[in-house]
Amino acid sequence: MSVRVILPLLLTASSIASSHGLTLHGPVAMSGDRLPHAQVNDGYGCTGRNHSPALKWVRAPKNTQSFALTIFDVDAPTGSGWWHWVTYDIPASAEGLEAGAGTVNSAQLPARTIQGRNDFGQPGYGGACPPKGDKPHRYVITLYALDVATLDAPIDASPAMIDYLLHQHRIAQSSVTATYSR
């Protein structure tokens, strides 16, 4: 999915979220703040801790059947952005995810939660690591309230396929954007 397609979707997020009240609280105090060092990759020339952020949410719509969460770098020099984390089938009873829950086979994730493949080619969270000297990249963290309990996606589905399914089943969404450069 190209940045030209994703940006209009991101611009509509506030109207979708405000119509239902769903609110995501992320790893930064205010949207646009710098991503903490803990969420930076430990590889590819970066020396972070590669831990997924602690996230909390409130005011989910009453008809929420499950949640999904994505972290997407809209400024990655790929022509189509970069998926850092794609996790879905989070139970509707969940109110957040603990820091570090994005490790492979994490015991911190709620039961039956699935971590899809990121653009590093593996399941779980892959931290920020933009090219050295590049402008600050924007990492859009989006929570989706969904009208289905499971996405019923193939376990090896691409992040773009999961994103497609999320947009078909969302009833509300909320985003926070962090930045990072090196």
CATH assignment at residue 113: 3.90.280.10
- Closest by CA position to 42, among listed 126, 101, 115, 105: 126
Domain region containing 53: 3-180
- Which residues of the chain have a pLDDT value below 70? 1-20, 29-30
Residue-wise pLDDT for 81-114, tens only, equals 999 999 999 999 999 999 999 998 889 999 999 9
In this prediction, residue 126 carries a pLDDT of 97
Q: Cβ contacts of residue 124 below 8 Å, gap of 6+?
A: 52, 85, 102, 103, 104, 106, 115, 118
Sole residue written with tokens 């984390």: 85
Q: CB neighbours (10 Å) of residue 12?
A: 11
Residue-wise pLDDT for 170-179, tens only, equals 999 999 999 9
CA distance 33 to 53: 14
In this prediction, residue 81 carries a pLDDT of 96
Total number of domains in the chain: 1
Quote the pTM value.
Answer: 0.87
